[in-house]
Amino acid sequence: MLLARLIAIIAGLVLVSLGILAMVAPTPLGFMVVGAGLVLLGWSFPEAVRRARRRWKGLDRQLDRLQARGPAWLVRLLSRSDPPD
């Protein structure tokens, strides 16, 4: 599990970095790559996502909407970071 988390962290950081570089392109590819990197980082650090959701209520509402309509794998990921009420 630790190796999988380490690989996900490295891959997430690489994807976010590459996505930021690709944002200057006229296609939305950079935003999609950054999103994939953030998903990997969110999987690796659910406690950081939980803190962000507690701090920014707008983010929490958007993630709740995504959790209600998203695919099963995303629902599991977001439920891990759902802050207690």
Burial class (CB in 10 A: 0-12, 13-18, 19+), 42: buried
What's the helix, strand, coil split of the chain in %, to 5? 80, 0, 20
- For residue 39, pLDDT beyond 80: yes
pLDDT score recorded for residue 85: 66
Kindly report, residue by residue over 40-83, the tens digit of the pLDDT. Answer: 998 899 888 899 999 999 989 998 998 899 899 888 888 888 88
Q: Which token pair is 55?
A: 């701090």
d(CA 55, CA 61): 12
Global pTM value: 0.75
Q: Where are the domains of the chain?
A: 1-44, 46-85
